[in-house]
Structure 1
Amino acid sequence: MAQHTASTPVASHLGRDRLPGRALFGLFLSGFVGILTECLPAGLLPQISRTLDTSVALTGQTVTIYALATALGAIPLAQPTAKWPRRRVLLIALATVAVANALTAVTDDYAVAMAFRFAAGLGTALIWPLLGGYAAQLAPEGRQGRAIAIALAGTPIGLALGIPLGTWLGGIGGWQFAFYAATGLTLLNMAWVRATLPDLPGRLAGAPLKLSRALGVPGFRLILFALAAYMIAHNIVYTYITDLLDYVGMGEQAEWALFAFGVTSVLSVIVVGAQIDRHLRMLTVGSTLLFAAGVLVLALVSGSPVLVYIAVAAWGFAFGSSPSLFVGAAINATGKSADVAQAITITVFSASIAIGGLVGGLLIAGPGTASITWASLMLLTAAAIAVIGGKRHAFPNT
């Protein structure tokens, strides 16, 4: 049987011209599980803090340490596992997340809980870099972008639904029930992956992963810069969205505003995913500018619920497909170095989540809540300049 690198579609070798929906759903669910596990404690902090006998602020670090593990682990774990069969790596990663979630639910010790959360983050550090390349290998020629969009859609949907889902599950049976439910979903995900995904080979021997090789690819560093600016801008505002909505006079409607964000995020995945192969550059430029427009409205408008809803909905539509757009650009630019490039991309993505939350907190504590929108706009301006200016290598016309 012929072997394939991460940049070689296998669907064409198998005579397929349709997207493998069941296999892509397994990848989608894997991404959703990863981000759900990250967000799960955020809506359950008071309950968890009582069990662990710590403050809510300290309990909140269970989210931070997960993101930190994902950021720190993506590249070191991608390199030694690069030659392993892809399905095996995914199953090991999902098993790590499942076990860590189950053990977190039974502990009442803060340090032990933090250790289990770190372990879960390492599992996700293996999952996220795998999804884009796996999807591209499964897709027929010319449809890799759409396959990547489907596989990565679990991330924005998980970001939109993770906190309210965790809160709802915690209300039914306590925070431990929420973690057991996440464990059960992960086990179902493993069964689906085992049944539907082909065990594609990893990188060929003699083709080592090198950071310098990937970073030296023309356009890749510009993609990373644009991604970092975009994601930090998002997390500066999104992490403190309830404070911002309260500032503009819509604190009592925060749940509905977040619902609007989630709905348009999902809609973005559907609409953009259908066009991503043909219009990657145009869609990335549009996403960045639409996001900036939404944040600008939030910065200027106060006391107008209709305009705030429109701004949040526009922001959600811009953000929903952004992981697929930036990962797709990275895969297109790096070719045979796509494996390590995806690990680097996920590291930047995860680090940007942590940096955005930190910067947003410092801004609120200093200049005040209004400053987070202007800081976000400055970063989005930089991202837009990078995306629009990267016409040759980073974001070329397709």
Structure 2
Amino acid sequence: MTTQQLPVGSGTQSQKQKLPMAALLALATAVFITSLTETLPAGLLPEMSADLHVSESVTGQTVTIYAIGTALTAIPLTAATAGWRRKHLLLTAIAGFAVANTVTALSTCYPLTMVARFLAGVAAGLAWALLAGYARRMVPVGLEGKAIAIAMAGIPVALSLGVPAGTFLGEAVTWQTAFLAMSALAVALIVWIMAVVPDYPGQHQEHRAPMRQALRVPGVAPVLFVTLVFVLAHTILYAYIAAFLDHVRMADSTDLVLLVFGGASLLSIWITGALINRQLRSLTIASTLLVGAAAAILAVLADSPALVYLAVLLWGLGWGGVPTLLQTAAGQAGRDQADTAQAMLVTLWNVAMAGGGVVGGVLLDLLGATSFPWSVLALLVPALIVIVGTRTHGFPAKRSS
């Protein structure tokens, strides 16, 4: 079922329209594949390193090379494919995942595996820059935020359910089976997209602008700054959560802690989807405060397991909606340059993820695991200042027409 685009100002009428759920769930599945393809090796390192004949730390670089592939190519590929029809581009990205995951599963050569993982990161760069805008175009004015929330639900599902399921499959059968299952899902998704997802034209040459011009659009730079700082803060703690839990003598509870985080993230996605169209600013401020409160508890009261679980619950509630909030803010701020703004957001997101791993490792060696929550607090302060200060553009107090 397709929905007719309504004129600006018809928000009440748009709320009565039905969301194209089959198409939006297809996008959510694409997000799931993108997120799980990136993180799946983390749960399969021992098995992969044995078959590839390299150490686990070297095998772990299959995650790093994925992020590098995304960060290096998201902006130039988005510019190069701006004129492509959107459905064609989406199918190309999903086909890239199918090929890359199949090569990863069949490869017994570490360099070839790294090439496949880099190509998977390239496909991710295309997908991430495309998906939020695609979801926005499918729905009437007033429902864009809810549509993006549905599409972005694939992230917490991948982290809370997909990674444990992939790890179990890898341990029960082989790690290659987990990657082949991802390829099969990608092929099925291609058929799904062809059947239910509408197509849209690309951007005409005369409407495209260089990246510097997009940065000059009011509100884009603040959203990108918040993205860089917020994701860096989150990744420092999330990437080394096992080390932190080991420090507070909760290493045996890592799986349960991550399950609580994932469940809270899913709840956060639902809340975000329900309120984002009118409360983007308030939700972003609330998310920052919740993650900050979680970090404060972990910094001061982590000797209590109950309070650690409370902190992780608050962390998940704060973080779960952040991808949707920032993608929506970037799209609204970017306006006619939304695709370019999204590509820059994707690039900075992956730079922050890679940087979080590096910074977290340095902090762990120099100051120990107790430094993680304090670092999160230090990074969230400037993010909160920018969010609160951008009342007109970026995180506006009133929704722009």
- Tell me if TM exceeds 0.5: yes
What CA distance in whole angstroms lies between the structure 2 residues aligned with 1:353 and 1:157? 19
What CA distance in whole angstroms lies between the structure 1 residues aligned with 2:72 and 2:156? 21
| TM-score (norm. length: structure 1) | 0.95
Deviations 1:329-365 (A, max 9, x none): 1111110000111000111111111101110011001
Q: Which amino acid aligns with 1:181?
A: A
Work out whether residues 11 and 17 of structure 1, in 8 Å CA contact, stay in contact via their aligned partners in 2.
no
What's the C-alpha RMSD, in Å, of the aligned pairs?
Answer: 1.4
The structure-2 alpha-carbon separation of the partners of 1:11 and 1:25, relative to structure 1 and needing over 3 Å to count, comes to: farther
2:388 matched residue in structure 1: 388
- Superposition deviation, residue 226 in structure 1: 0.9
- Superposition deviation, residue 73 in structure 1: 1.1
Q: Aligned runs of 1:1-398 on 2, under 5 Å?
A: 11-12=5-6, 17-398=17-398
Q: Which amino acid aligns with 1:259?
A: L
Work out whether residues 102 and 183 of structure 1, in 8 Å CA contact, stay in contact via their aligned partners in 2.
yes
What CA distance in whole angstroms lies between the structure 1 residues aligned with 2:103 and 2:135? 31
Work out whether residues 208 and 337 of structure 2, in 8 Å CA contact, stay in contact via their aligned partners in 1.
no
Q: Which amino acid aligns with 1:134?
A: Y
What CA distance in whole angstroms lies between the structure 2 residues aligned with 1:12 and 1:25? 22
- Superposition deviation, residue 10 in structure 1: 5.9
Deviations 1:93-113 (A, max 9, x none): 100110110011111111010
| TM-score (norm. length: structure 2) | 0.94
Moved more, 283-292 or 242-251: 242-251
Aligned length: 389
Q: Which amino acid aligns with 1:138?
A: M
Q: Mark the runs of 5 or more structure 1 residues left unpaired by the alignment.
A: 1-8
What CA distance in whole angstroms lies between the structure 1 residues aligned with 2:34 and 2:189? 11
What CA distance in whole angstroms lies between the structure 2 residues aligned with 1:137 and 1:120? 26
What CA distance in whole angstroms lies between the structure 2 residues aligned with 1:244 and 1:369? 5
Work out whether residues 157 and 320 of structure 1, in 8 Å CA contact, stay in contact via their aligned partners in 2.
no
Q: Mark the runs of 5 or more structure 2 residues left unpaired by the alignment.
A: 8-13
Q: Which amino acid aligns with 2:92?
A: I
Deviations 1:218-268 (A, max 9, x none): 121111111111100000000000111121221111111110000010111
- Superposition deviation, residue 158 in structure 1: 2.0
SS for the counterpart of 1:249 is coil
What CA distance in whole angstroms lies between the structure 2 residues aligned with 1:121 and 1:388? 33
- Superposition deviation, residue 18 in structure 1: 2.0
What CA distance in whole angstroms lies between the structure 2 residues aligned with 1:289 and 1:147? 25
- Superposition deviation, residue 165 in structure 1: 2.3
